[in-house]
Amino acid sequence: VPVVAPDHVNFWRLALALPAILISLALVFIGPRLSSRAFQTSIELMMLPILGVNLIVLQISPATLAVLFNMLATMIYAGYFLRRFALGMTLALGIGIALSTLFFEPASSTPHIGAYLVVYIPTFVLMALLLHLQNTETLSALNLARRHAMEDPLTGLGNLRALERQAKKRFTQKSRGKKHGVTALLLIDL
């Protein structure tokens, strides 16, 4: 879009497109092979170049409001997918980037930029925090439902589903040659 990236900044077009393409390809091809913890960490690290892209675009583009609106989508994504610490860091960097529009051209020449920021910054912080809270509560309820589905309500011991899952896990580990102690089955007649 010529307004966002004028013709004389083709270098920035390439510089901004390349990280986006590399991150997307990495998540598509490498992501499914990662553990859930490593995948979560990669998502958190992905936010740094995304915020960097927004910072660079704000320095070269007269379309300040369009870039800030794009950052709103980034903050919604962060609120839904990032853990608490990473979300806090992302919000702090996002607020810093938004406030930088007051001091650097061409963003600072946008009419009424201060008024837009007064509305914009609380909006993206509130949306990110509300989505984070909703996602946390949903995951907590899901984990509780999973736990109840895997245990006997009277004794709190694992039920047949838990036994099948543990047996599958233990026997596939043994078949691969991994050693995790002795696998035993204890049957108690209540």
3 band by pLDDT with thresholds 50, 70 and 90: low
Answer whether 128's CB lies under 8 Å from 79's CB: yes
Q: For 35-53, what is the mean pLDDT?
A: 82
Nearest to residue 101, comparing CAs of 49, 132, 62, 48?
62
pLDDT, position 10:
65
- Mean pLDDT for the chain overall: 82
Cβ neighbours, 10 Å, residue 56: 15
pLDDT, position 105:
84
pLDDT, position 179:
62
How many Å apart are CA 103 and CA 80, to the nearest integer? 30
Q: 178 - beta bridge partners?
A: none
How many Å apart are CA 114 and CA 127, to the nearest integer? 20
Q: 158 - beta bridge partners?
A: 151
Q: For 92-118, what is the mean pLDDT?
A: 90
pLDDT, position 129:
94
- Phi, psi (degrees; rounded to nearest 5) at 151: -135, 155
89 band by pLDDT with thresholds 50, 70 and 90: very high
104 band by pLDDT with thresholds 50, 70 and 90: confident
Q: 151 - beta bridge partners?
A: 158
pLDDT, position 121:
93
How many Å apart are CA 18 and CA 52, to the nearest integer? 13
88 band by pLDDT with thresholds 50, 70 and 90: very high
Q: For 31-58, what is the mean pLDDT?
A: 82
Its pTM surpasses 0.75: no
How many Å apart are CA 139 and CA 129, to the nearest integer? 15
pLDDT, position 40:
82
Query: How distant, in Å, are the alpha carbons of 3, 5, 90 from that of 64?
Result: 10, 12, 20
Q: What is the amino acid identity at position 172?
A: T
pLDDT, position 16:
67
HSE toward the beta carbon, residue 36, CA cutoff 13 A: 2
pLDDT, position 48:
82
Q: Where are the alpha helices (DSSP H) in the chain?
A: 10-29, 36-60, 64-81, 84-100, 113-149, 160-175
Take residue 145 and report the two structure tokens written for it: 């439902």
pLDDT, position 8:
60
The total number of residues shown for the chain amounts to 190
pLDDT, position 128:
93
In the predicted model, is pLDDT for residue 86 greater than 60? yes
